[in-house]
Amino acid sequence: MLQRLRYLPFLPVYVAVYFLFLYLPILLLPVFSFNDAATTTLPLAGFTTKWYASLWGNTVLLQAARNSLVVGVCVSLLSTILGICAARAITRYRFRGQKPATGLIMAPLFLPEIIVAVSLLMIVLQMGLELSLVTVILGQVVFCIPYAMSVLVSGFEGFDRSLEEASYDLGETALGTFRRVTLPVVAPAIVSSLLVTFTISLDEFILAFFLSGTEPTLPVYIWGQLRFAAKLPGVLALGSLMILASVVLLTVAEVLRRRAERRTRATLAP
Amino acid sequence: MPDRPMIAIENVSRFYASYRALDDVSLEIGAGEFFSLLGPSGCGKTTLLRLIAGFDVPTSGEIRIDGVTSTLLPANRRPTNMVFQNYAIFPHLDVGENVAYGLKRLKLDAAEERRRVSDALDQVRLTGLDRRKATELSGGQRQRVALARALVMRPKVLLLDEPLSALDKKLREEMQVELRSLQKAVGITFVLVTHDQYEALALSDRIAVMFGGRIAQVATPKEIYQHPRTRKVADFLGGMNFLGARLVAERGSDVAVETARFGTIRLERPKGFAAPDGRVTVGIRPERLRLLWDDERAPHELVGRVENRAYFGEVTHLTIGVDGLEKPLSMIETNDYGADDLPLGAEIRLAYDPEAFVLLAEDGVGR
């Protein structure tokens, strides 16, 4: 039974302070990105969009954005495809070593990222590989698979095997069944996984910093810009855009994930 | 035996590692027959149905459907269609698209496809619901969509895997009547898997009762209820009073057995019956025992007392202790004369018909 929360006078204050601490810095980002001054000090000097405009002329930044896009798309595709295989194995079959295998796939979520980044860097250098976007992609895929898998498992869990059997039974082939039943039913979960992993890749810094070599992604570029005080307002504008993109992508992903869950649940209900 | 077998199962076994889900089963199901596979969970009835559907392959044995050897034929190339236990309605399609799912592969012209879909929906009384979303259907409607989706393919055999178990009692009884009349209307072979003996009795032309991967008896509902071959079959199909007895004479197709209190009873000897040590079990259904009121007399009477009583509305179940019997007898009495008011411990007389006894084989013997 849920209990009604007893009213404690300090509770609203605590909640307010907590949210301020969490979101005020992030809210300041867009505020200062529209501020007509090169420094982030109050009072505000006036409204401008010139920092956003300056982003367009910056070829290094645009190159970094392009790198991030390439990495993001590759990482989301790869980790979702691998996540589909893992999620299907976990939800569909019972096999020896299933629990430990699941645990090991999820483990990167809890490993210190910087340690993993350093060890990956050592291995890549040992093998004599060139640092490039490819190494960033490989590193980020390892970290994104757990996210992809948890989104996909919740989408596949309700997927009822008899749906595929019903399709065969009605004369459809294995390929046709995948196209006409399996894919459409789990599609929202797959799209959701793509969006989540893309967003994570877009924001990811540590792996990209260690493994990107001469091709920075956006977070690595931002890190580099922070040394120059004059570049700060441009970074704020860029950061605001990235927050906006992340929020939009994650919201869409969550809506799709819930829809997938509802849909598969509905087939099971008697 | 059916005139023309639609399905022939010959010595079919299905082992999962060392577990024998089906153990050397042979069976013929006739064209146009409503056939039920009845048994407790784990008896192999669903395994057999899935072998007929083509979702699984037997470890050994042969399956023929309409004369065609189908043992290894995949599900999508068999003239069978299935209604799944959970109905397996495609959640991303509406009712019409669900029903048309299998037709799409036949590449019919649009008008013909529409006609067949709407005919199928009419058949299951879902007329005009073709644009309804799959997620907005009630349990009964889902079941009808599953039926229509299978029937629209015009299969030679319709397979039904516990199709009514998810419905509440009232709806289930309605659907039983409907299933029966639907089968008569379309005239194709129905194979129903169920663990509900009343459902099997009410719907079927013939029933196969299964235990532990084997078929214990195949017969019409009446035959299987009145003349169960083994103790387990008798027990599974409703209540039965079991009595230990001693074989005293065998003559041709008849035997005589001696029981405590019921005396010597003549019985028909079942096929393959054997009792090497002379000990046998006989049974009589509770409703074949009858209370005698006041000075009513019967040719065969027994005295006992009421040990327990349970009121079921139209009938009362009584447990009657009889001196000299190992176990009390259970009987079912209508409430017309006040059986529901009999006090515990009351002395009663009951009548029985010696013809109502059946001789039961021990399980696993004589097959």
Residue B110 Cα distances to B93, B98, B104, B105, B117, angstroms: 18, 16, 10, 12, 11
Is the per-residue pLDDT at B366 higher than 70?
no
Asked if residue A106 is part of any domain, the answer here is yes
CB pairs under 8 A between A and B: 81
Q: Which residues of A touch B52 (CB under 8 A)?
A: none
Q: Which residues of A touch B157 (CB under 8 A)?
A: none
State both tokens at B249: 């004479």
Interface test with A, best of B16, B50, B90 (most A CBs within 10 A): B90
Asked if residue A11 is part of any domain, the answer here is no
CATH architecture for segment(s) B231-284+356-360: Beta Barrel (2.40)
Asked if residue A136 is part of any domain, the answer here is yes
Q: Do A264 and B91 touch (CB under 8 A)?
A: yes
Q: From its phi and psi, is residue A261 left (phi > 0), alpha (psi between -120 and 50) or beta?
A: alpha
Q: Which residues of A touch B105 (CB under 8 A)?
A: 170-172, 176
Asked if residue A28 is part of any domain, the answer here is no
Burial class (CB in 10 A: 0-12, 13-18, 19+), B100: buried
Task: Tell me the residue range of the domain where A90 lies.
Answer: 45-268
Which residue does chain B place closest to A259, by CA atoms?
B92
Is the per-residue pLDDT at B161 higher than 90?
yes
State both tokens at B323: 């001196």
The total of structural domains in chain A comes to 1
- Distance, in Å, from the CA atom of B287 to the CA atom of B326, rounded to the nearest integer, reads 20
Is the per-residue pLDDT at B53 higher than 90?
yes
Q: Which residues of B touch A173 (CB under 8 A)?
A: 76
Across B105-117, b (16+ Cβ under 10 Å) vs e yields: eeeeeeeebeebb
Find the mean pLDDT for residues A148-173: 88
Residue with tokens 């077998």: B5
| ipTM, interface predicted TM-score of the complex | 0.83
Output the average pLDDT for chain B.
90
pLDDT, tens digit (0-9, with 9 covering 90-100), for A175-208: 999 889 988 888 888 888 998 899 899 888 898 8
Residue B338 Cα distances to A140, B329, B341, B343, B351, angstroms: 81, 19, 5, 11, 17
pLDDT, tens digit (0-9, with 9 covering 90-100), for A99-158: 898 888 888 888 888 888 898 899 888 888 888 888 889 889 988 999 999 888 888 877
Cβ contacts of B243 within 8 Å, gap of 6 or more: B259, B260, B262, B281, B282, B283, B284, B325
CATH of residue A104? 1.10.3720.10
**d(CA A174, nearest CA chain B) in Å:** 9
Residue A198 Cα distances to A78, A205, A255, B265, angstroms: 11, 13, 16, 83
Residue B355 Cα distances to A171, B173, B275, angstroms: 52, 32, 21
* Phi, psi (rounded to 5 degrees) for A226: -65, -15
Q: Do domains B231-284+356-360 and B290-351 have the same CATH topology?
A: yes
Q: Are B330 and B310 in contact (CB under 8 A)?
A: no
pLDDT, tens digit (0-9, with 9 covering 90-100), for A209-260: 888 888 888 888 888 888 877 777 778 888 888 888 888 888 887 887 777 6
Q: Does domain B290-351 have CATH number 2.40.50.100?
A: yes
Q: Do B135 and A180 touch (CB under 8 A)?
A: no
**d(CA B207, nearest CA chain A) in Å:** 24
Least confident piece of the model among A5-14, A17-26, B45-54, B192-201: A5-14
Q: Which residues of A touch B106 (CB under 8 A)?
A: 171
Helix, strand, coil share (%) of chain B residues, nearest 5: 30, 35, 35
Looking at the domain B5-226, which fold is it?
Rossmann fold (3.40.50)
Q: Do B134 and A267 touch (CB under 8 A)?
A: yes
Domain ranges in chain B? 5-226, 231-284+356-360, 290-351
Taking chain B, what is the end-to-end CA distance rounded to the nearest angstrom? Answer: 17
Q: Which of B55, B86, B149 sits opposite A160 (nearest CB)?
A: B86
Asked if residue A32 is part of any domain, the answer here is no
Q: Are B282 and B357 in contact (CB under 8 A)?
A: yes
